[in-house]
Structure 1
Amino acid sequence: MTDPLDALHEPILPVDPDPAFAARLRARLERAVLDPTSALLDQWEDDMLTTDAPAPTTEAAAAPALHTVTPYLVVADASAALAFYADAFDGIRRGEPIMMPDGRVGHAEIALGGSVLMLAEEFPEMGLVAPTAGPVTQSLRLEVADPDRVVDRAVARGARLERPVTDSPYGRGGVVIDPSGHRWMVSRAAPAGPAGPRPGDIGYASLWTRDVEAAERFYAAVLGWETTAGSAPQGRQITNRVLPLGLWGGQQRPTVFLCYAVRDVDDAVVLVRAAGGTADAPVDEPYGRIANCVDDQGLPFAVFTPPPGAGPPPDTTRPGELTYVTLEVPDSVRARAFYGTVLGWRFVPGRAAGAWNVWVDGGDSRPVLGIAGGRAAAGVPVFAVADIAAAVEAVRAAGGTAAEPVFADYGTLAGCTDDQGGRFHLVQLS
């Protein structure tokens, strides 16, 4: 006998998802991967359907994941040690220290790049003492982009120099003993092959501007750029810098257009489209196979596969070079999901709220890249200069604007605009 419920049951048919629901679900998945505080935002999204609950206003920094081995140090003064690691090694504190009833710090954490360093104060009754007064029994290797700068800064903040920074077959580095007595090998590994951009690095950058001839005059006066004709009348190539740079006129929206190296352009185009961006069909050019793209928040860029050995040397800190780029985006979570998918970028929290530093192949990208959320989509370049005061005066004399220089731990910085309103920064690196 046929079950009446089976006989009356309608067939199951697929339906198109509600677009608003699909958008919320995608955002939740992105946040779940990239931001451990996403549960707070998800709850707000549920609440907003029935209440007037305000949106959370604080974006907490996602902490690096714990690796298989995590250093756990004993220090004599936890507050002083945390301050040293933050100032000398660009550490980011993780939460508040756990205090013991007797006032000692029982546990504290600080993020160093993509790793976590744990520490506690001395507990002699448990046999845990800092090596301040005794021999060092271990070393910690700290991988950085600029070991000279980090070692100098560590010594200025109380570390003892054991070995000056030198070059070796394995890379460049030096050794310091921190104020707590721990030994640090501050290093930058030697490149594995010919100089050139790694997948995810910037291989080429172009300033988009309205009047290319005016931009040519301005940046020659401010940064000493020398130019030659580009592939089209509105294009110019910069000839006296290590990173391939250009100018591109006829654009109403000033920005910096970045071309990223990838292993396979055709594969990258598939990822761009799958991640919500748009991509032209790849084409072959003398400098490699390339495809123009736009990310899922409206920021244009390109991907290319460079010929073997092509690309910039690793050092883009000399005067006139593009040394840093900030990608300003409306939503930093979406940006991290997009570029992590397309370019394999990893991210570590920056010093400013809502800011993230980009890591490529376990270290800083070249040139260094950052992402800042809550802004209209644009790329803002930072150029190195030898004398910030003189460079600021050159900007003003050429018809641009420049704020008064401000000091940061990595150098002295000034926000500027060129004579057509294009934003950039100048930095005199310390």
Structure 2
Amino acid sequence: MTFKERIRKSIKYKFRVVFIISIVVGNLISNLIIAPYLKDSIKNILINRYEVIISKLREYKDDEEKLKVLLDIYNDLFYKIQVQDNIYNIPIDKNQMNVLNKDNGIVYLANKKEFNIITKIKNEYYIISVANHHIHLLPIALNIWILLITTLISLSIISFASKKIIDPIEELAEATDKISDGDFNIKIKSKYKIEDELGKLINKFNSMATDLSHLDYMQKDFINNVSHEFKTPISAIKGYLTILKNEHISQEERLEYINIVLDEVNRLSSLSSNILELSKLDNMESFKGNQKFSLDEQIRNTVILLEKEWIKKNINFNLDLKPIYYYGKEEYLKQVWLNIINNAIKFSHDNGVINIYFNKNANEVIVIIEDFGCGMDENTQKYLFNRFYQGDDSRSELGYGLGLSICKKIIELSSGSIEVESELNKYTRFIVKLPF
């Protein structure tokens, strides 16, 4: 692409061309509107000046010397005064001739190009006109000068203003190119107020770049975590199978190692299932084939299903579940309650309490599940729904950090939302909102 082509495609060039065209068109329109009024104004001014001249000529009509001096003065100005014995060469009608023959009679002669005046003084005809016969072009000339001046001034202003506006846009374009090349650490220093549209755009861009940087980190971290999570149990399985090849270990030890291998296999199976489930959910836009079911009964059945877990810790449940029939994907929502309630059990203290209750309005049903166990700090809450995020070592021992990511995706596909409120060592509250 040549320099000339680059200039023509430049937004600065287009901005200035559009602005200049707007000025020219605006001036042409204003000329069409103002020109008739300007022409009338010039005509009135000339009439006044002509009448003053005639008044002076009549005043000195008996003094030939002074009259001659006066004629020379006016002719030296931009007026043209002709003195004739007759006016046969001038096209005037009978009525106009009658007017001239009266005392102080004046006849105005006007056409598109000229505006003249005729009067009779002492049997001589005085024809007064403007020396420049192009006086009719004065409105056009005046408008052209105004157009040139306004265009030059406006062009100077628009050049300065466009630089202030276009430069940040060019910075945005360059930054976008860097992001497309994989550099997500780019930041644009905003010179504009946050309330300004351009400032908002730059702030949004910086926010997007930060999010993309986090996403890039999360993707890399996800791959590393998947590799690590698969590698750890596989290494354990390999180690224990090597030990099991030893014929001299006792039967008791052999059974113990076999159980450990089975646990690791189950962990691998669970991890694989969760990854496949997430992949499946990621390729969905919404759930299809929704059915009507009892939401309160589903949650009660989930609590019963987890009875073995909460009996171990002697946990009490307070359930305030009014009958609600919900239209959605039953089997997927069951996964949500299983995961959240199971987490509440895991992180509750022995002899603890878990509360589950509904709130309902015209637009949505709100399911609240809260425990009073170890709680979470702000950083854990911020990244809780990220894949493989486990918060701290105590949490990492109890899972792979995929469960809540699956829950969030299921709820989003149900057009709902999930939030968490927590305070370290005090409580954790999950709030699930589903459209009703």
Q: One fold, TM greater than 0.5?
A: no
The answer to which structure has the higher strand fraction is 1
Q: In terms of Rg, which structure is larger?
A: 2
TM-score (norm. length: structure 1):
0.23
Answer 1 or 2: higher relative contact order, Cα 8 Å, separation at least 6. Answer: 1
